[in-house]
Copies of this chain bind each other. A is one copy, B any other.
Amino acid sequence: MLIVMHHTASEEQIRAVEQAVAALGLKAQPIPGGERTAIGVLGNRGYVDDTTIRDLPGVLEIIHVSKPYKMVSRDFHPMATVVKVGSAALGDGGPPVVMAGPCSIESEEQMMAAAHLVKAAGAQVLRGGAFKPRTGPHSFQGLGVEGLKILHAAGREVELPVVTEVMRIEQLEVACRYADMLQIGARNMQNFDLLKEVGRLRCPILLKRGMSATIEEFLAAAEYIVAEGNDQVVLCERGIRTFETATRNTLDLSVVPLVKALSHLPIIVDPSHATGRRPLVPIMARAALAAGAHGLMIEVHPSPDKALCDGAQSLDGQGFALLMKELRFLQDCFAKLNDPAFETQV
């Protein structure tokens, strides 16, 4: 931690800060500069609570060097985490994993049709929403437990593991019974009680980035889960909220290489929610793969025009099959590109 003093801070003010640092059991080291003095804080193990200091007279600014996360950080745990969902494995080195299916589970018929499409096209995980977070209370809220059972049956039928969103703690038990991976949605990324509870489960978690979450907050949210003992966490970039309204959200693909540098957890990309527009989905899926994503989450619906939710961003069977074909082709391209031999041989 670094405490920056005002240009005009007095000797007494500097000494008062040093004493406040000492009161925390830490050591203060003044660094006089040409224009002002800064005070380094030594001896801390992790994030220092600065509330007894930052308001003292003469203090201009406090700069934290430690981060609010540690267990998910690559700095402290360099080895990549590989998360297994059924027979799929997400993480460094492995091929990208595609999770696909409808936004909402609407009926057994729709879900089965979707499952067959998804399986036939070659995806490794089946998705479907039983509990739906909707902006207003007057929209379709999902089929609930009935939907979970349908999803489970569909997964069995096509032999794919299934992932579904949970929104409240009471849903965890039943969701674990029917699903192979649980999703925490963007709106719940800082629902800390929910994070702690899924941290006590033995099942892999898909954590979506909040609409206005910084990368630091995103990783700190993952830290909540890992700190409770569950390190099977996959991060998911799904677009952030900006002033731009032409797309539903702004897909922040730079986050992929950045998170891969900062954390050992795998990260995937959801171009469907990020763009909100079907024609952009396959293009941004390509771009996500190029950015190094460990996987993708894609909305697929047997007949998007009739979807009860997010139809405008869902691919149909044909569109998804073509996309999967493209992704397999690109996966080979990127495998060659990332081969250490590329630099010298190609």
- The residues of A with any CB-CB pair to B shorter than 8 Å are 2, 4, 6-8, 20, 29, 31-36, 38, 40-47, 49-52, 54-56, 61, 63, 65-66, 68-70, 75-76, 78, 133-140, 167-170, 187-188, 190-194, 196, 211-212, 214-217, 220, 223-224, 227-228, 240-247, 250-258, 261, 274-275, 278-280, 283-284, 286-292, 304-312, 322, 325-326, 329-330, 333, 336-337, 342-343, 346
Contacts and interface: CB of A to CB of B under 8 A. Distances in A.
A291 B275 CA distance: 13
Nearest to A63: B63
A257 B280 contact: yes
B43 A40 contact: no
Nearest to A282: B257
Given A54-B312, A243-B214, A286-B291, A136 B76 contact: no
A223 B135 CA distance: 10
B284 A65 contact: no
The list of the 3 closest CB pairs from A to B, nearest first, reads A68-B136, A51-B311, A212-B212
Nearest to A69: B136
Contacts of A310: 51
Given A8-B75, A69-B136, A290 B292 contact: no
Nearest to A211: B212
Contacts of A46: 34-35, 138
Given A135-B217, A305-B51, A346 B333 contact: no
A239 B37 CA distance: 32
Contacts of A255: 246
A138 B228 CA distance: 11
A190 B273 CA distance: 17
Contact of A280 (B187, B258, B288): B258
Contacts of A43: 33-34
A325 B312 contact: no
A111 to B, nearest CB: 17
